[in-house]
Structure 1
């Protein structure tokens, strides 16, 4: 984890806050940046939008050979952080007792067109699905969403420390 990683997640929180509004709905503040990450160029449901943000994060960290190599050399836990964020966001409106992200994974990631697109010039992994598959066991952790608050606190510390330093 480092300042740049934390700033990327902060940017996401600015567009999609990690709290529901008073009506219990997600608050999408900047839907325009999401549309290019939707399968149909138009995000309709909340889960479409969450998937789009997830794709945005993968693109931000792994979208080119240069980014991919930079992340692999310096921060191998990025996929974990993205899955923790995803678990937390999905848990905000969970239905039933299943806290895992498997239903979302099956519909949006495994069968999603954009998660299966080839990462340009990268040979280690074909696509984002392969990166996620490497961490598939994390998706079975029912309380993975509980790691988000400590992650967020650590990120805030990184950002503040770098402002003061």
Structure 2
């Protein structure tokens, strides 16, 4: 398996994972974030295919961060106002797995960018690594957001001074 096929498989696996997360999510805003992440992974897959076929590569940059920010604001309102909105540890574990996928993707693209002698591949892989880092930050925010009600209630005496 060459570097392109490996990257494509990686992106397909990540996309499917996010689609499953979206399907299993009860929160509409969170579902939207996962669908956006799935679309991003599909876009990355297409970019790697373009590299493999030596075609002109689409723009790597995405607009996911503003969309994620809007979703987080909506989720925050949902979580803050309802007692039944506390997420389970199992959900947190799933999102932690998603974060690890993004860390692995970042590492893969960074390493392969350094190894290649083709300037176009190096530039594209560096850009893909940057996008994967954005995804990691989004997942970090999801983890914090869904886990915070659990830890805040557990450790209420330590968090009583912090605005929620």
Normalising by structure 1, we get a TM-score of 0.34
Q: Which has the higher helix share?
A: 2
Instruction: Answer 1 or 2: higher relative contact order, Cα 8 Å, separation at least 6.
Output: 1
